[in-house]
Structure 1
Amino acid sequence: MQPVYVTASAQCLPGAPVGNDEMADFIGRLSPEAERLGRLTLRQNRIRHRHYAIRPDGSSDWTVARLAGAAVRNLLDTAAIDADQIGFLATATTQNDLLVPGLASLTHAEAGLPPMEVASLQSVCASSMMALKTAALQVAADEHPAAIAVGAEFSSRYFRPDKYLGTDVMRADGTLPADAEFLRWTLSDGAAGLLIEKAPAPRGLSLRIDWISLRSFADRFAPCMTGGAVHDGNGAISPWSMNGDIGAAAKAGAFQLRQDVAALYRMLPVWLGEFMRLVDLGRIDPRAVDWFLCHFSAHSLREEMTQLATRAGCMIPAERWFTNIYDKGNVGAAAIFLMIDDLLRSGQLIHGQKILLAVPESGQCIISYAGLTVVEAGQ
């Protein structure tokens, strides 16, 4: 791929940081036993703070599109080019506000951008990398002089008690199945975006995009993280639209986010195998990586990944890892862009350093890696 550059970045995190002791005030209380399970989940993920786009009463002035639009406007405030020079917008999210139209159209309107080409990418965490690669290729192919990739999530709206009470998923003791409980205490809200151009920014640091790789292994795995699905209790799922009327689908728990954590751990060797394939191809040299930005949903998952990589002899030393999950939470499709923005603002980058991105996705097993190089203006 012809080199293109991340020349600006920005984020939008709604509200003040929410600590662990305040979480239940926002997502609501199901039962004392559910809160006990929540504390166990927090010990696993070790997230200390996150942001919610809802108020403690469940109301909100935000939507996914408004979060994404605010991130884009913040991005334009820092960019060295005018909005009319940007010809392409790619958006990424797990769940859009509406079934139709796509998030890119809604974000385009919210951001106040001029007429342009758009693309809506919807998956889970790796949709960010789909958006980044799509935007980068548009610029590399000279289709547009500049493009924006933005990821946004508004997960908390699905975690309020009224999304569970009265459904078949709710247990007699007021708890949820582990695959629903884990996400309720792990996911949070926010948005972040990147500006892609043909040349480095005239001032400060840019990131040259050297390559992006994304592979799906859905041929080997059933869906792991789902929304809009009815689970029959034996591992089979069906779309919400095939389960009677909308009320019946809701009662069956179709509109709840679920993640099979056991299946997630079975994907780890596949993600590591893809890492080693890229090492064999010469795309990744673990010894040359100065900064490793790896998206993970929980500290326990990071520890398992570290153990596997150490046994395989391809572990990138912990001091080269950069993460913000413990203080900004797991923001899904916005997570890797949030990390890039925070790293760019950290004051730790030096011209010529190599950055490796890793975004695994449990939806139905996707893994994406990308190589970036730090470039200082005038160098």
Structure 2
Amino acid sequence: MSGKRLRDVYITGAGAFLPGPPVGVGAMEDHIGRIGGRSSAVGRRALRWNGVQTRHYALGIDGRPLHSNASMTAHALRAALDNAGLAADDLDFLATATTQGDYLVPGHAAAVHAELGSGPMEIASHQSVCASALTALKHAWLTVRAGEAEVAATAAGEFSSRWFRPEFYEGTALVDARGRARVEADFLRFTLSDGAGAVVLEPKPKAGGLSLKVEWIDLTSLAGRFDPCMWAGSTFADRSDMRSAWSHAGPVAAHASGSIALVQDFELLKIVIRAWIGVWLEKVDTGRIVPDRVDHLLCHYSARSLREEIVGLLESTAAMIPEEKWFSNLATVGNIGAASIWVMLDAFLRSGRARRGERVLLIVPESGRAMVGFAMCEVV
């Protein structure tokens, strides 16, 4: 690669896949199931907090899967390729993202490639929480930029609802003697949705329609400063001790201790939010982000109340981007983890709001262990 000139890279297609019909607020708990047959003590509060009106589940109301994570991700990838005017066999490189794939091993990318049914290609699996969407994007972007691929894609999928069925909690340390689930676990059951999104990258814009030139992608992990904030695989008390992870105890003991379920430390989240904002402010201070030059902001957040807190922290700073420039579809699709930013971008591009020459800033904060990613794009 010595002496080669780095190429410009463009998002030439976007696609999304949302499983099943939209499920309204009043039907969500019946859909995922009631722990111990009882209504959740925090469910209604969680839904008021996150502001989600409808979301999609890849489980039927009988608990049977309608899809796999890999099949949803492949559906979104096909939609993105079609939007770019390409076929699956045109793809040279695939980077996937997910919080929890269908298998423990192998990675999500292999499962998605198999579902796609295309010929040999290079693949890479990125696993974290929401920000893994941008780690996968950066991998695909750099691969095209370096001339290693002509057509690359990043695709992200989540099948969170399968982890929210009552049997993941009943009989474990997460449920007390009264049959109430621990708030840190129960709250997330009303926070996450299922679905997938994808984007296609090429070294030239598509001939017809709009493309997005990817100017830069920055990722910042703050894991050295914080314990896990959202995790699965350890007890609440021992989450920072890797020797206490579920694999050391074995699956049966891990389930009994509540180590298999996804949980979140909401007190730590309040601190992590300020750390995300700190990174954002640094980028404004150094000129990496110039708020007046941003025409559209697509910021992933898990709840309407978190957006309000982010806006409250930014309003008195030079980093604030006016809310009329913000685009979100959280209310209609919910928080789809790693897939959220691509489902959002697909909706934005279909909305007709984008105009040539405008700049679009993508921001994805992640509470897993305090990561935040930024991507700046220009509409061409």
Q: TM-score, normalised by structure 1?
A: 0.95
Does the 8 Å contact 1:27/1:156 carry over to 2? yes
Which residue pairs with 2:11 in the alignment? 6
- Which structure 1 segments of 5+ residues have no match? none
The 3-state SS of whatever aligns with 1:153 is strand
Question: For residue 248 of structure 2, what is the amino acid of its counterpart?
Answer: M
Question: Of 167, 171, 174, which residue of structure 1 is paired with 2:179?
Answer: 174
Question: For residue 63 of structure 1, what is the amino acid of its counterpart?
Answer: S
- Which structure 2 segments of 5+ residues have no match? 1-5
Shift of 1:171: 1.5
Number of residues of Structure 1 aligned to a counterpart in Structure 2:
374
Which residue pairs with 1:239 in the alignment? 245
Does the 8 Å contact 1:34/1:176 carry over to 2? no
Shift of 1:33: 6.5
Question: For residue 239 of structure 1, what is the amino acid of its counterpart?
Answer: A
CA distance in 2, matches of 1:352, 1:218: 36
Q: Which residues in structure 2 correspond to 1:98-109 (within 5 Å)?
A: 98-109=103-114
Does the 8 Å contact 1:31/1:173 carry over to 2? no
Which range moved further: 165-174 or 23-32?
23-32
Q: Which residues in structure 2 correspond to 1:1-379 (within 5 Å)?
A: 2-30=7-35, 34-232=39-237, 238-243=244-249, 245-375=250-380
Q: In the superposition, relative to structure 1, how do residues 188 and 236 fare at CA in structure 2: closer, same or farther (>3 Å)?
A: same
Question: For residue 51 of structure 2, what is the amino acid of its counterpart?
Answer: R
CA distance in 1, matches of 2:240, 2:349: 43
Q: In the superposition, relative to structure 1, how do residues 235 and 212 fare at CA in structure 2: closer, same or farther (>3 Å)?
A: closer
Aligned-residue RMSD, C-alpha: 1.6
Cα displacement string for residues 52-75 of structure 1 (whole angstroms, at most 9, x for unaligned residues)? 000111111311111111111222
CA distance in 2, matches of 1:234, 1:107: 30
Question: Percent same amino acid at aligned positions?
Answer: 46
CA distance in 2, matches of 1:234, 1:223: 7
The 3-state SS of whatever aligns with 2:308 is helix
The 3-state SS of whatever aligns with 2:211 is strand
CA distance in 2, matches of 1:215, 1:201: 31
Which range moved further: 226-235 or 77-86?
226-235
CA distance in 2, matches of 1:117, 1:316: 38
Shift of 1:113: 1.8
Question: For residue 272 of structure 2, what is the amino acid of its counterpart?
Answer: M
Which range moved further: 319-328 or 175-184?
175-184
Shift of 1:235: 7.7
Cα displacement string for residues 139-180 of structure 1 (whole angstroms, at most 9, x for unaligned residues)? 000000010100100000011111111111102232222211
CA distance in 1, matches of 2:38, 2:46: 13
Does the 8 Å contact 1:33/1:173 carry over to 2? no
Question: For residue 188 of structure 2, what is the amino acid of its counterpart?
Answer: L
Q: In the superposition, relative to structure 1, how do residues 63 and 82 fare at CA in structure 2: closer, same or farther (>3 Å)?
A: closer
Cα displacement string for residues 70-116 of structure 1 (whole angstroms, at most 9, x for unaligned residues)? 11122222222343332100000000111111110010010112100
Shift of 1:48: 0.5
Question: For residue 247 of structure 2, what is the amino acid of its counterpart?
Answer: S
